[in-house]
Amino acid sequence: MTETLALPTDDTDPFGPEALEDPAELHATLREAGPVVYLTRYGVYAVARYKHVRAALVDWQDFQSAAGVGLSNFRYERPWRAPSLLLEADPPHHDAPRRVLSGILGPRALRRLREQWFAVADELVGRVLAEPEFDAVPALAEAFPLRVFPDAVGIGREGRENLLPYGDFAFNAFGPGNDLVNRAAPDVPRLSRWVDRQCAREALAADGFGARIWAAADRGDITPDQAPLVVRSLLTAGVDTTVHGLAAVLYAFATNPGQWQRLRERPALTRAAFDEAVRWQSPVQTFFRTATTDTRIGGTTIPGGGKILMFLGAANRDPRRWDRPDEFDLDRDPSGQVGFGMGLHQCVGQHVARLEAEALLTALAHRVTRFELTGPPRRHHNNTLRAWESLPMRARVA
Ligand code: QZP
């Protein structure tokens, strides 16, 4: 027997300033309402429980990415830039670019960066801690990725200040065409031109991730016209995400001094600490899939072509899955958190992000006994990212 229940609806704007400032109440409402909730404002299907978010993430056959992972449906609307070969593609087209990038960004390939990144983190932390107070967003969360990642890709020095605004726009562009998108729109042609120029073979240093992508094209693992778009994926997805991931873990420790003490006693917890911060804050809050054909989620049929909005942040705090979900706790096992996605599209850059976090936290743990916020932390609103504008703090050093 199939039971037909009325589909719950909600008219909240998940991309409005109230929800972006603090999405907790919306998340709880959506999780409680049912496995699927129809969002009347955008005509999309929200999924906020862990079980169903995870199920949608791993089912690439029924929930396609090639129609876009933002609100815009590429079946009917022209995307703002050529679709990503990784993010906005399904098998089989997705697979060759993915295989190439997994190799270049995999744990084995990153070993050559480890020592240098730890040294850079140490030097940066030394300089920042020389100040009595600092803003951890620009001074650490932005400064560290910007010191190591563009060099690792192999782009030139000129114009790197475009990376964060470009990423901020790209992540806003997964949402609706609201003020966040419109305010940045005039700069987008210039930012896009700059990013596209960095993706050319001639623009890239001989020994970076970018050159390795071009070398894969030379071997025939991808085609030469795919190479620049794969480089573009690094420049789009690799900066703002790690900035706000690092900001999340710094905020976590500034507000949970006992957990910082625990990390200093047990440095082996460093990697789990970053994963737990990604669960707890979910720097990537949401993205979409498109129902390939009529598809059921928890008793609701999503019509083919319908957009599904997956609330990673809500899933990562679903009390059906996590004990005391709102607590940042190094004693829990955060594996299974969906902040990096899950399944075939799961973040291909996660080893890069984890290495950045390990380097920065290790440098801080060597010297800092306690972080204290010295003023109100301020959020940066973005349609996709749970981001920070400012985290004013003081660090007590040993
Ligand atoms: C952004 C790309 C959370 C994801 C939406 C992050 C992301 C991944 C890939 C790309 C952009 O390939 O451009």
Ligand 1 contacts CB of residue 382 (under 6 A): no
Q: Which residues in the chain show pLDDT less than 70?
A: 1-5
Query: And the tokens for 21?
Result: 């400032």
Ligand 1 binding pocket mutation candidate from 80, 81, 87 (most atoms within 8 A of CB):
87
**CA 342, CA 39: separation in Å to the nearest integer?**
24
Q: Where do the domains of the chain lie, and which CATH numbers do they carry?
A: 9-397 (1.10.630.10)
User: pTM of the prediction?
Assistant: 0.98
pLDDT for 58-117, tens place per residue? 999 999 999 999 999 999 999 999 999 999 999 999 999 999 999 999 999 999 999 999
Residues 6+ apart with CB under 8 A from 81: 192
Instruction: Return the exposure string of 285-317: e unless at least 16 CB atoms fall within 10 Å of the residue's CB, then b.
Output: bbbbbbbbeebebeebebeeebbbbbbbbbbbb
What is the pLDDT at residue 4? 57
Ligand 1 contacts CB of residue 393 (under 6 A): no
Ligand 1 contacts CB of residue 86 (under 6 A): yes
pLDDT for 147-161, tens place per residue? 999 999 999 999 999
What is the pLDDT at residue 254? 98
Instruction: Say which amino acid occupies 378.
Output: R
Distance 297 CA to ligand 1 centre (A): 25
**CA 361, CA 204: separation in Å to the nearest integer?**
29
3 state SS of 372: strand
Ligand 1 binding pocket mutation candidate from 195, 233, 285, 287 (most atoms within 8 A of CB):
233
